[in-house]
Chain A
Amino acid sequence: MSLFEHLFLPHESNNHRARMLHPTGLLLILTSFIGLQLLLQPVSQRLPFILGYASQIPPEEIVQLTNVKRQADGLSVLRLDSQLSSAALAKASDMFARDYWAHVSPIGTQPWFFITQSGYSYRYAGENLARDFSDPQSIVNAWINSPTHRENLLSSKYQDIGVAVIDGQLGGQETTLVVQLFGTKLSSAQAVSQTSSFTVLAAAPVDLSPTPAPVVSPVPITTSTPVPLTNPFSVSKAISIVILAIILIVLIMDIVIVARRRIARWTSKSFAHLIFLGTLFIAALFMLRGQIL
């Protein structure tokens, strides 16, 4: 009991402040947390069946879910186009080869380059990107909840769609990239509109000048692999929530006991820590995996 009191409760032995809340205690938590985070990467590489990355994202399901959203909005369904799909595959491969997460590559290659390279002559074209998601529904929901991606997804200008899903390493981290390309062929678009326009997310400027050919290395398309017990994000989230919860409980006990005993101390304010960490604890609870661009 005395060790427990010393570590977690205000007591004479710890100068009326839980040892855990002392700078040395916080430093110990901090270094332990960094150590655990550093352990996750090698563990996931050596034991992928326990701590691994399992993305069950069939491209056809992305197309189907996209069309469901379009139909719900009174729009026509998009046709899966093989040229757009190969353009999406080339774009995703280029992102892994050049190690970037953006619409425009570090050497300035626009998404449209890959579309024209695939032989698809477009009047309208658009691109949505996603990474680190584990299922197609979450991806489409994330795009729908983002105004700019939603605009692409629910645009009446598009008639075709191409999707690529590829596993690889980006910035040293294992990830699954999803590239979704929209388009309307130059010939078929005549009936839709006579105006020429190009759609790109975040209103990036359209560059139709010749761009250097990207170095595309072949990357295997996601195949079905044994599903691991968990993934690094879930483990990281659990560790974060447990650490924050313990600190919050210790802070609450500190505030209550110090107020009851009317102890006057010269320290930082536990109530301020409680507000700060409390809001971040709520954020951690609702933190989701995945990024879109």
Chain B
Amino acid sequence: MSQITFAKDLSRHPLHYFSLLVMELVGLWGLLWFTYDSYMRFAILLSMAAGYVVWGVIHHHQHRDLHIKIVFEYLLMAVLAVLIIGSLIYRT
């Protein structure tokens, strides 16, 4: 397990954060592009959430600080996001 500060983490893994940013921005573009296609938007939302959890697992694995508690935090955040945005996609 390694405990490092935010600045060190960012300077050590800029590519990690850049890839996450690109992935989420592509998802954002998809959500805005398919404005009235609820199935497509929900599929994009699920992909964004899944990609984010996978990113978290890979990032922490490379950090050697992967723990079930951390995976749970990413999963909780992903579920919360899917529920919040999903409620907007399917709410009439």
Say whether A43 faces chain B, with CB atoms less than 8 Å apart: no
Interface string of B6-48 (1 = CB under 8 A from A): 1101100000010011001101100110011110000001001
Decide if the interface of chain A is mainly helix, strand, loop or mixed.
Answer: helix
Give me 19 A-to-B residue pairs in the complex whose CB atoms sit less than 8 angstroms apart, sorted by A's number.
Answer: A23-B69, A23-B72, A37-B83, A131-B92, A146-B36, A173-B92, A232-B92, A237-B88, A266-B1, A266-B65, A267-B70, A268-B70, A271-B9, A272-B20, A275-B21, A276-B24, A276-B48, A283-B28, A287-B89
Rounded to whole angstroms, the CA-CA distance of A269 and B6 in the bound complex is 8
From residue A262, how far is it (CB to closest CB) to chain B in Å? Answer: 5
Say whether A206 faces chain B, with CB atoms less than 8 Å apart: no
Rounded to whole angstroms, the CA-CA distance of A240 and B73 in the bound complex is 20
The reply to whether A291 and B6 form a contact with Cβ atoms under 8 Å apart is no
From residue A14, how far is it (CB to closest CB) to chain B in Å? Answer: 14
Which residues of A are in contact with B by a Cβ distance under 8 Å? 23, 26-27, 29-30, 33-34, 37, 40, 53, 131-132, 142, 145-146, 173-175, 232-233, 236-237, 240, 243-244, 255, 258-259, 262-273, 275-280, 282-284, 286-292
The reply to whether B67 and A266 form a contact with Cβ atoms under 8 Å apart is yes
Size range of the interface on B? 35 or more
CB contact between B87 and one of A236, A258, A259 (< 8 Å): that residue: A236
Rounded to whole angstroms, the CA-CA distance of A173 and B91 in the bound complex is 8
From residue A252, how far is it (CB to closest CB) to chain B in Å? Answer: 12
Closest 5 CB pairs of A and B: A264-B3, A268-B73, A279-B24, A132-B92, A283-B31
CB contact between A277 and one of B6, B17, B77 (< 8 Å): that residue: B77
Rounded to whole angstroms, the CA-CA distance of A259 and B31 in the bound complex is 32
Rounded to whole angstroms, the CA-CA distance of A288 and B92 in the bound complex is 10
By beta carbon, the residue of chain B nearest A255 is B6
The reply to whether B4 and A264 form a contact with Cβ atoms under 8 Å apart is yes
The reply to whether A283 and B4 form a contact with Cβ atoms under 8 Å apart is no
Across-interface contacts of A173 in B (CB, < 8 A): 92
From residue B92, how far is it (CB to closest CB) to chain A in Å? Answer: 4
The reply to whether A233 and B84 form a contact with Cβ atoms under 8 Å apart is no
Q: A30-B76, A266-B70, A269-B9 are in contact. List 14 more A-B contacts (CB 8 A).
A: A142-B36, A175-B92, A232-B91, A259-B7, A268-B77, A276-B52, A276-B78, A279-B28, A282-B28, A287-B85, A288-B35, A289-B92, A291-B36, A291-B37
The reply to whether B88 and A284 form a contact with Cβ atoms under 8 Å apart is yes
